[in-house]
Structure 1
């Protein structure tokens, strides 16, 4: 009987952000963290439609009265 000296790597499993299906984080899951192309495109569409956003400071570019045109 021989023993393998290769270390075993723990398998990481994450939930698909769209449908909550378990996804193995590895080469066998090309759309990770999504389970499939469909879920990936659904998420992209939500970002494109601005249904999702990263919280941050409000856009003050037009509301503060400041102008780049200095009149020179």
Structure 2
């Protein structure tokens, strides 16, 4: 039988790394999943600039005019 993992100390959750800079973002961070307000704004800027895209079906521009 496998040994269960030891419990983590309270308040010491490692959380996930910030998707922008890679620094650890505590689970209790107010800007979660980002480590700071700056990284949150950088991510928003990337979305607004079109750096991120959600894949989908190709669109025929001529078909939309009709």
Shared fold, TM over 0.5? yes
Consecutive unaligned residues in structure 2, runs of 5 or more: 1-8
- Which structure: larger Rg? 1
After superposition, the C-alpha distances for 1:2-50 in whole angstroms (9 at most, x for unaligned) are xxxxxx7783510101000011112xx1000000011000000000000
Query: Under a length normalisation based on structure 2, what TM-score does the superposition of the two structures give?
Result: 0.69
TM-score by length of 1: 0.64
4+ runs deviating over 3 angstroms: none
Q: Hey, what's the Cα distance between the residues in 1 that align with 2:51 and 2:40?
A: 15
What is the Cα-based RMSD across aligned positions, in Å? 2.3
| Alignment CA distance shift 1:12-1:64 (3 Å) | same
Structure 1 equivalent of residue 6 of structure 2: none
